[in-house]
């Protein structure tokens, strides 16, 4: 279709150009072909050849059809902007027009909007458009070199923004184009190009030090000066187009005189007055100009001057190479200055500034050390001259503070404080530097206060800042920052008693809030005060006002401001606090978005990156709890790990937030290693850190210990959780909402211990603690429903132990309130419904005549989306409740829902141990589901649900082999990807010993993360496979197969459930039910006795002295077990199948495939029977065996019917027959006393 459409468009274009018949371009068929090509372009892109055909057709139609002219022209431009090398396919007039358009667009981009310069993205686009215009014009066009020069101008702008060296080199090459073009003789254009080229060359000289660049710059500017009388057309439009700007009446811009003189002076210093180029230049200069070139300059000026430009460039672009070049130049300048002179100190200060810039780029402690050495040297040199020393101290302060930020060494701050105090001792309050030194002293004390938390430092910082503000002029530029610092110190020390008065003063400074040009520093301080007031009051209105002010501040400073991340982070905090108070999901979403912006705006090694990453971890964990999002919880763990790794010292907030994310991931996935890691994190102890005594860390530890107890039932975990939790809730200095969470968690732990030890004191304390939690939390807090649920659980438990109608009714009311306050999409909503349904069932009773409200709540809870373990718990309890009411259809619905969840519990991203632990929560599920189906009169459904459940464990290599082969035939790359992931995961069976080894080497968290990442990749690949034609069932459970069994054969599923026990006989596409007169408890008792006897026998036979007696005891027990199996299970089954004895002479033996369930899998059904007496087994009697399974049928086992169907349809490889020889009494070996009595197949000569 596409090829045909392209061919027809090409034919129509050829006909138009040959015959001039424009009608062929405007037919409906032509439009249909255009639409077909455009559709292909939007779906898959186009080859350059096809795009060219379409672009040329559209151009010609644009020329001839006014109705589609605009759309066709825009499409043509868009197409050829991506294939400019095919421009020669267009007529020359089209190429000229397109070049003009792209040139004008590029120029407009570089001019910016409303005085705002273009950003990097706009400069990139301008360069691209200029380059396309050059290609459109083609070589030889008179204007191609001019546009090429404009490319150079744009590259120069980008170079100043990014520092990419190749941009500067290419810019210079491009700017030479008009000067080397013989067609370009317009003097105005040449003058502009010479000026721009000279500027670029002198810049490159400053950044790299090549004298040939400086010489050429002087040469180009000399030539430009010779064109001084020519009016200069600004470089922005192609010739022939009217300019939007007035012509410059002077070819050389006014600043060029200074630039030219400066460049000549540098050349004079480097090459001397005898340089031929300088001689030539001097001939074109006035005496005054040459005098300016030759005037005396400070020592080292020839190095310091280009170093200054290099430093400015490096500070903008972060170019380390240029920065190091500038340092080398400054070092040369310092060496020629008189030691200790003002010129020497000026150069050294610039070196100090350069070293500070280098430290900010590298975060290298060696750079910090070098900066400190440089700062100390400068002070030592200035110490002899008091005025110079006072002038140098602020530089020393800035350097030492920078070193401290990167090294966290407090002695650096001590050193700065000592020098500043020394300086203040030698000047009086009337000295001009008095206020400056006090401001520096206050800032350093504030840094040390933050590092040591010593209130004496805080008090000193407050006093120094007050003194600085008292002596600095009202219009001092630094004054707003110092006022902000003073307020921060006062807030952190708690000495700002009258926040409202401070707010009133600050609001007057800012105005009514509508002034978009307010001083940002004033707005910062206002936002800080509003945030502090909101945190004290805890009111939603306070946080909303603080958020609104911070938003106004961001609107004033813009997203590109250096301190934007700090304010975005503060706004994120406001939104999170509002979410905590209101429960509005939109608040949480916005908090996450703002935190992501903040982190993206920070460089990777920014010191605040750890804090922002930790905040983002916390926010994403909250959202995962609210929504059940797996993407959010995995991202939360990743950001939490990043925060802990970036923290220069253990940070309680980072540890608590990562532990929270890990426990949330455990809740959603069930990986016990996540809980273990969370506990290990909270156990971190460091005598020099605040970790050990942090209430937040201790509260997190108590929570996660209790969670682990719920999974592992380690008594020590529960005991420690209660002990640690009790210590945390006694801390009354904590804010109410945080204390509420600790109280609620402690109540839950007490309730768990009561269930274990039945101590009524624990139950009363749990109720009282849960009530305290509810009183401490706000009425609109998003997690209030959790506190209500914990109180309801404690009340209901107390009612069960000490019946009181008030407790039960209050518990139900608590849960109804929690449900009403929780959105249905919240991941905790099903749990609340589950708890309510349980209490309603308890209230109403479980007879078939009981009200239906509880069952309706169960059904609603099971229908909602939640994490698999929660949904399983709901479905299991719903099924049990329905079964207790003899509502077997509803029980079947509930258990079927639970069976459908089993694959999620056995998620491939978990280790085998975790899979087994989670699947153990569903122990007996398949059998209970089958029993419910049998009670409901649906034996076929019983078989299906058993197959579906057992397939989770027993689906083997055969399904993988078959399905991946089908996938490989369609998508081999995807099949290879899945195979690779499967191999990395160990074929779905993670080697636990290897896993533990990896945990030891890399850490448990790294191993769990890697395994889960592979699991997510596996899920994505499987989903992709299922979207392919014919593979919707890829690796899914298949419907139960139709068994083609041999004649007189059967498959027997023995279902053991707490509700009933049955044998399901599958023969000739039919399912028959044989009820068994035995209970699941009886079968379990027999199985346990059998296993215990086997274990004891293995132990006792290891001692030769007791071996014979042990063998007699074992065989006696085994005979009893086999007789019991025969009486209660095997004989009723075989009788029902019609196998009442051995087959007739010459008839094949019937075959039975046993498929036992539950504890019956541990018992030997194939050997069941009334075997010979104990004495006969040892030759003491001739009493024959009476009856057994082996006397009637040949037995085999199958884990599932699907496995049996696969085995029956798989061709058997025939091998040569082999002889089995059995010796009842082999020499030097244990005797086989039963071998002589073992029945032999007909035709067998008997025991050897």
Looking at residue 1161, its pLDDT comes to 92
Complete edge-to-edge strand list for the sheet that includes strand 1070-1075: 1070-1075, 1061-1067, 1050-1056, 1151-1156, 1194-1197
Q: What percent of the chain is modeled with pLDDT above 70?
A: 86
User: Given pLDDT bands bounded at 50, 70 and 90, which one contains residue 692?
Assistant: low
Residues found in the chain: 1248
| pLDDT in the model for residue 1136 | 94
On the question of pLDDT at 989 being above 60, the answer is no
* pTM for the predicted model, two decimal places: 0.60
Report pLDDT for 866: 79
pLDDT at 678 over 50: yes
Q: What is the pLDDT of residues 152-205, one digit of tens each?
A: 999 999 998 888 889 999 999 999 888 888 877 778 888 888 888 999 999 999
Q: What is the mean pLDDT of residues 974-989?
A: 79
Q: Using H for helix, E for strand and C for coil, what is the string for 252-305?
A: CCCCHHHHHHHHHHHHHHHHCCCCHHHHHHHHCCCHHHHHHHHCCCCCCHHHHH
Average pLDDT over residues 966-971: 90
- In 3D, which of 59, 52, 93, 89 has the Cα closest to residue 76? 59
Could you tell me how far CA 205 lies from the centroid of its own chain? 46
Phi first, then psi: give them for residue 1072, nearest 5 degrees: -115, 150
Helices (DSSP H) in 494-608: which residue ranges?
499-510, 520-537, 540-557, 564-582, 585-601
CB crowding 7-36: b at 16 or more within 10 Å, else e: ebbbebbeebeeeeeeebbeeeebeebbeb
DSSP string, 943-962: HHHHHHHHHHHH--HHHHHH
CA separation for the pair 911, 915 (Å, rounded): 6
- What's the rounded mean pLDDT across residues 838-861? 80
Give the pLDDT confidence of 873-919 residue by residue, as tens digits.
999 999 999 999 999 999 999 999 999 888 888 888 888 788 888 88
What average pLDDT score do residues 960-987 get? 87
Spatial separation of the C-alpha atoms in residues 673 and 999, rounded to whole Å? 10
Q: Are 133 and 99 in contact (CB under 8 A)?
A: yes
- Provide the pairing of β-strand 1050-1056 with 1151-1156: parallel
Confidence of residue 1219 (pLDDT cuts 50, 70, 90): confident
Among residues 248, 157, 250, 239, the alpha carbon closest in space to that of 196 is found at 157
State the pLDDT at residue 250: 37
* Residue 1072: strand, helix, or coil: strand
**Nearest of 1059, 821, 1043, 1087 to residue 947 by alpha carbon:** 1043
Band (pLDDT 50/70/90 cuts) for residue 1230 is low
Q: What is the mean pLDDT of residues 602-630?
A: 87
108-112, 346-350, 501-505, 710-714, range with the lowest pLDDT: 501-505
Residue 139 has pLDDT above 90, yes or no: no
Q: What is the mean pLDDT of the chain?
A: 83
Residue 237 has pLDDT above 50, yes or no: no
The DSSP-derived string for 1082-1131 is: HHHHHHHHHHHHHHHHHHHTTSGGGHHHHHHHHHHHHHHHHHHHIIIIIH
Distance CA 278, CA 219 (A): 9
- 784 vs 74, which has greater pLDDT? 784
Q: Please, is 928 exposed, middle or buried when counting C-beta atoms within 10 Å of its C-beta (0-12, 13-18, 19+)? A: buried
Decide the pairing of beta strands 1061-1067 and 1050-1056: antiparallel
Cα distance between residue 1023 and residue 830, in whole Å: 27
Around Cβ 686, how many Cβ atoms within 10 Å? Answer: 10
pLDDT above 90 for 1247: no
Q: Encode pLDDT of 1120-1129 as tens digits.
A: 999 999 999 9
Domain borders along the chain are 1-90, 91-181, 186-296, 506-582, 957-1026, 1074-1209
Whether pLDDT at 1107 is above 60: no
Distances (CA, A) of 50 to 22, 87, 1125: 21, 13, 79
What does the pLDDT look like over 69-84, one tens digit per residue?
Answer: 667 677 776 776 666 6
CA gap 72, 110 in Å, rounded = 27
> Any idea what DSSP says for residue 1064?
E
Establish how many alpha carbons lie within 13 A of residue 933's alpha carbon, considering only the half-sphere containing its beta carbon: 22
The closest of 652, 655, 627 to 640, measured between CA atoms, is 655
- Chain centroid offset of residue 1092 CA: 50
- The answer on pLDDT for 559 being more than 60 is yes
pLDDT band, very low/low/confident/very high, at 249 (cuts 50, 70, 90): very low
pLDDT in tens, 1037-1085: 766 667 788 888 999 999 999 999 999 999 877 899 999 999 999 999 9
Q: Give residue-wise pLDDT tens across range 762-771.
A: 999 999 999 9
CATH code of the region 91-181: 1.25.40
What is the phi/psi pair of residue 518, to 5°?
-60, 155
Nearest CA to 1013 among 973, 984, 993? Answer: 984
The predicted structure's pLDDT at residue 236: 38
pLDDT digits (tens, 9 = 90+) for 1170-1202: 986 544 444 444 544 579 999 999 999 998 888
The more confident residue out of 1091 and 1129 is 1129
How many C-beta atoms lie closer than 10 Å to residue 282's C-beta? Answer: 16
Q: Region 411-435: what's the mean pLDDT?
A: 91
First vs last C-alpha separation in the chain: 80
Q: Rounded to an integer, what distance in angstroms lies between the CA atom of residue 109 and that of residue 112?
A: 6
Provide the 3-class DSSP secondary structure of residue 621. helix
**What is the rounded CA–CA span in Å between residue 721 and residue 702?**
4
What does the pLDDT read at residue 163?
A: 85
Would the pLDDT of 529 be above 90? no
């Amino acid at each position: 279709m596409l090829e045909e459409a392209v061919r027809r468009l090409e034919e129509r274009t050829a006909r138009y150009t040959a015959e001039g018949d424009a009608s062929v371009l405007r037919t409906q068929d032509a439009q249909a072909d255009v639409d077909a090509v455009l559709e292909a372009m939007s779906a898959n892109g186009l080859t350059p050849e096809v795009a060219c055909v379409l672009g040329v057709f559209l151009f010609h139609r644009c020329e001839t059809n006014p109705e589609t002219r605009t759309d066709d022209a825009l499409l043509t431009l868009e197409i050829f902007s991506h294939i400019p090398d095919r421009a020669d396919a267009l007529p020359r007039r089209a190429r000229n027009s397109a070049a003009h358009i792209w040139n004008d667009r590029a120029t407009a981009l570089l001019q910016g909007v409303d005085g705002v310069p273009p950003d990097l993205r706009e400069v990139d686009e301008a360069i691209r458009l200029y380059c396309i215009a050059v290609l459109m014009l083609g070589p030889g066009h008179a204007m191609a070199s001019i546009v090429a020069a404009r490319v150079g101008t744009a590259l120069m702008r980008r170079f100043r923004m990014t520092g990419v060296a190749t941009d500067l080199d290419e810019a210079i090459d491009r700017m030479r184009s008009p000067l080397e073009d013989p067609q370009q003789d317009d003097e105005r254009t040449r003058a502009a190009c010479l000026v721009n080229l000279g500027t670029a060359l002198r810049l490159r000289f400053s950044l790299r030090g090549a004298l040939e660049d400086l010489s050429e710059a002087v040469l180009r500017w000399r030539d430009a000066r010779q064109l001084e009388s020519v009016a200069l057309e600004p470089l922005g439009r192609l010739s022939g187009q009217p300019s939007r700007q007035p012509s410059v009446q002077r070819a050389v811009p006014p600043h060029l005189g200074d630039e030219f003189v400066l460049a000549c002076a540098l050349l004079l210093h480097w090459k001397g007055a005898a340089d031929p180029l300088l001689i030539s230049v001097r001939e074109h200069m006035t005496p005054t100009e040459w005098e300016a070139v030759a005037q005396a300059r400070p020592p080292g000026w020839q190095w310091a001057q280009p170093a200054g430009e290099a430093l400015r460039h490096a500070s903008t672009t972060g170019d380390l190479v240029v920065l190091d070049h500038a340092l080398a130049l400054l070092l040369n300048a310092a060496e020629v200055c008189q030691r200790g002179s003002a010129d020497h100190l000026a150069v050294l200060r610039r070196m100090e500034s350069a070293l500070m810039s280098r430290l900010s780029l590298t975060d290298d402690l060696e750079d910090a050390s070098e900066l400190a050495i440089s700062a100390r040297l400068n002070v030592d040199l200035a110490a002899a001259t008091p005025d110079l020393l006072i002038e140098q101290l602020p530089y020393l302060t800035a350097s030492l503070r920078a070193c401290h930020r990167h090294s966290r060494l407090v002695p650096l701050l001590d050193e700065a404080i000592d020098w500043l105090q020394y300086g203040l001792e030698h000047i009086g309050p009337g000295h001009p530097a008095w206020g400056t030194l006090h401001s520096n002293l206050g800032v350093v004390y504030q840094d040390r206060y933050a590092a040591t938390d010593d209130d004496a430092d805080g008090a000193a910082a407050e006093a120094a800042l007050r003194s600085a503000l008292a002596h600095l002029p009202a219009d001092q530029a630094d004054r707003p920052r110092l006022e902000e610092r003073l307020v921060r110190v006062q807030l952190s020390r708690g000495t700002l008693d009258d926040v409202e008065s401070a707010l009133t003063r600050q609001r007057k400074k800012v105005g009514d809030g509508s002034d978009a040009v307010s001083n940002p520093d004033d707005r910062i301080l206002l936002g800080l005060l509003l945030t502090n007031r909101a945190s004290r009051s805890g009111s939603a209105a306070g946080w909303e006002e603080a958020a609104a002010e911070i938003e106004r501040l961001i609107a004033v400073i813009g997203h590109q401001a250096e301190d934007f991340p700090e304010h975005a982070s503060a706004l994120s905090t406001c939104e999170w606090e509002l979410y905590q108070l209101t429960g509005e999901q939109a608040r949480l979403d916005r908090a996450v978005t703002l935190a992501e912006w903040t982190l993206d705006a920070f460089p990777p090694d920014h010191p605040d990156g750890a804090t922002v990453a930790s905040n983002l971890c916390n926010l994403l964990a909250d959202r995962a709890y609210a929504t059940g999002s797996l993407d959010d919880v995995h991202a939360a763990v990743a950001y939490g790990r990043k925060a802990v790794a970036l923290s220069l010292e253990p940070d309680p907030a980072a540890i608590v937030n990562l532990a929270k994310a890990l426990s949330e991931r455990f809740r959603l996935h069930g990986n016990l290693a996540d809980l273990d890691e969370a506990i290990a994190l909270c156990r971190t102890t460091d005598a020099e850190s605040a970790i050990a005594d942090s209430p937040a860390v201790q509260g997190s530890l108590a929570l996660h210990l209790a969670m682990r107890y719920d999974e592992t039932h380690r008594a020590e975990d529960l005991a420690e959780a209660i002990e640690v939790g009790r210590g945390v809730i006694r801390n009354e200095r904590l804010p109410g909402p945080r204390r509420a969470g600790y109280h609620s968690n402690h109540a839950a732990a007490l309730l768990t211990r009561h269930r274990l030890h039945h101590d009524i004191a624990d139950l009363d304390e749990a109720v009282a603690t849960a009530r305290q939690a509810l009183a401490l939390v706000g009425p609109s807090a998003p997690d209030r429903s959790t506190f209500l649920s914990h109180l309801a659980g404690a009340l209901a438990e107390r009612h069960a132990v000490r019946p009181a109608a008030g407790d039960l009714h209050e518990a139900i009311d608590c849960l109804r309130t929690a449900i009403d306050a929780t959105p249905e999409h919240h991941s905790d909503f099903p749990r609340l419904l589950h708890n309510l349904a349980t209490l309603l069932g308890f209230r109403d009773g479980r007879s078939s005549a009981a009200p239906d409200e509880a069952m309706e709540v169960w059904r609603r809870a099971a229908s909602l989306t939640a994490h698999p373990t929660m949904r399983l718990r709901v479905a299991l309890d719903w099924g049990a409740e329905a079964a207790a009411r003899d509502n077997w259809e509803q029980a079947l619905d509930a258990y079927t829902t639970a069976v459908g969840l089993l694959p999620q519990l056995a998620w491939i991203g978990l280790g085998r141990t975790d899979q087994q632990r989670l699947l153990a929560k569903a122990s007996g599920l398949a059998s209970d589901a089958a029993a419910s189906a049998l009670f409901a009169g649906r034996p076929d459904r019983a078989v299906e649900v058993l197959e579906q459940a057992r397939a989770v464990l027993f689906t083997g290599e055969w399904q993988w082999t078959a399905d991946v082969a089908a996938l490989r035939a369609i998508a081999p790359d995807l099949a290879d990807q899945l195979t690779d992931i499967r191999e990395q995961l160990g074929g779905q069976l993670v080697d636990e010993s290897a896993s533990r080894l990896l945990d030891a080497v890399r850490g448990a968290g790294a191993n769990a993360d890697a395994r889960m990442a592979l699991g997510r990749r596996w899920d994505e690949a499987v989903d992709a496979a299922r979207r392919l034609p014919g593979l919707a069932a890829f690796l899914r459970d298949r419907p139960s197969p139709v068994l083609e069994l041999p004649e007189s054969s059967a498959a027997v599923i023995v279902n053991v459930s707490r509700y009933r026990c049955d044998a399901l006989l599958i023969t000739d596409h039919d399912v028959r039910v044989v009820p068994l007169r035995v209970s699941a408890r009886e079968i379990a008792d027999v199985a346990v006795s059998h296993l215990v006897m086997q274990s004891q026998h293995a132990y006792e036979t290891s001692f030769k002295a007791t071996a014979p007696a042990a063998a007699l005891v074992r065989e006696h027990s085994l005979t009893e077990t086999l007789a019991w199996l025969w009486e209660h299970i095997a004989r009723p089954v075989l009788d029902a199948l019609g196998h009442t004895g051995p087959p007739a002479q010459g008839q094949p033996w019937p075959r039975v495939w046993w498929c036992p369930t539950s504890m019956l899998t541990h018992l030997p059904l194939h050997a069941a029977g009334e075997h010979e007496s104990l004495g006969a087994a040892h030759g003491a009697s001739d009493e024959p065996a009476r009856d057994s399974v082996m006397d009637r049928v040949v037995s085999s086992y199958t884990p599932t019917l699907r496995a049996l169907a696969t085995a029956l349809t798989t061709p058997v490889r025939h091998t040569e027959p082999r002889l089995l020889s059995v010796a009842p009494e082999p020499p030097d070996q244990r005797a086989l006393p039963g071998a002589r009595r073992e029945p032999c197949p007909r035709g067998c000569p008997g025991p050897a």
